[in-house]
Amino acid sequence: SPKKIPEVLASFGFTNLRKIGLELDVLPVNIYQVYQRIFPNAELFDVSPLIKEIRAVKSPYEIKLLKNTLGVIDQAFLAVPSFLREGMLEIELAALFEGEMRKRGYSGWCKMRSFNQDFFLGNICTGGSGACPGYFDGPVGGSGVSASQPQGAGWKKIKRDEVIYIDYTCVIDGYTGDQTRIFCIGELSPRMVKAFEDALIIEAEILKNIKPGTPAEEPYLLSVKLAEEMGYRDNFMGYRDDQVKFIGHGIGLELDEWPILAKGIKTPLVPGMTFALEPKFVFPEGAIGTENSFVMTEAGPQYLSITPEVITYLK
């Protein structure tokens, strides 16, 4: 019972507490009120920024776990050509892809901290379904299987000559990796191929220009500048009014850890920070781009993702 908390703390010598730190960004009000009642003389303050700051920088052991997670994601992506077929449903492809990770240790849980940001394991969108916006704060939504969960793979049949966009998380031993790769049965239009190549250029420019000490907003500001110069004002990180205002996010125990690579975030990048970088474009005919997981080192960003960064074509 919560009423016993003061008694338990007193048994360890903690009495007459004056300040108690709580994770107020996620703690329900009713639980907060319980602490108010059992510690009437203590100041309850928000310790969540400190926890996020500590968790943003990973230990060598944590980075090792993340590398293992990205290895599992790699195996799943490499298996896609063995089961991707024209005419199958998006949801069928999703089930097979998820199975590749599940049988390698993914429990199926992906945790997010942000309020009301329910997130499934990942997104598979093909052709025009990639242009369906969602309530989730990400560049690509998807139709989903029903209006109750309008996100990710749906009942659409996969066709030839359209983008097959696969963006998935994987959590092994508690640590979250995130990656996107592109497939196609047949051939993609020149516009989509060019957009993919431009996404790689944006990613490369970001990696070339960030290092320890770079403010977390710089990758986003640079990516927007490059995308506009390339002619993608309406397509970068979403379509028109549904564009998101970030280019990457921290990864670790949760999918949305610090650093958030977004405008206004002045936090400097430091060695040990791990993050996903995802330059993407959305058009009426589909979504395309790339996403990889990285760790910041003393020498600059280093890939954690190992899957070849190409469009995989099937006949």
The domains of the chain are located at 2-46, 53-314
CB atoms under 10 Å from CB of 279, counted, come to 28
In sequence order, what DSSP letters do the residues of the chain get, joined into one string?
A: -GGGHHHHHHHTT--S--EEEE-TTT--HHHHHHHHHH-TTSEEEE-HHHHHHHHHBPPHHHHHHHHHHHHHHHHHHHHGGGT--TT-BHHHHHHHHHHHHHTTT--S-----STT----SEEEEEGGGGG---SSSSS-----SSTTS-SS--SPBP-TTS-EEEEEEEEETTEEEEEEEEEEES---HHHHHHHHHHHHHHHHHHHH--TT-BTTHHHHHHHHHHHHTT-TTTBTSSGGG--SEEEEE-SSSTTEEEEEETT--PBP-TTBEEEE--EEEETTEEEE-BEEEEEETTEEEE---S--SEEEE-
pLDDT, position 167 = 98
The pLDDT tens digits of the residues spanning 254-280 come to 999 999 999 999 999 999 999 999 999
Residue type at 294 in one-letter notation:
F
Q: Which residues of the chain have pLDDT under 70?
A: 116-119
pLDDT digits (tens, 9 = 90+) for 206-261: 999 999 999 999 999 999 999 999 999 999 999 999 999 999 999 999 999 999 99
* Residues 61/130, Cβ–Cβ less than 8 Å: no
Name the fold adopted by 53-314: Creatine Amidinohydrolase (3.90.230)
Dihedral, 233, 181, 106, 133 alpha carbons, nearest 10: 30
DSSP bridge pairs for 153: none
Token pair, residue 95, equals 């089930």
What pLDDT is recorded for position 257?
96
**What is the per-residue pLDDT for 150?**
83
Instruction: Tell me the residue type at 275.
Output: F
Contact 281, 289 (CB under 8 A): yes
Copy the structure tokens of residue 20.
Answer: 């108690």
Q: What is the pTM of this model?
A: 0.94
Looking up tokens 């040990």 gives 272
Whether the bond between 259 and the residue before it is cis, its omega within 30 degrees of 0, is: yes
Cross-strand bridge partners of residue 179: 168
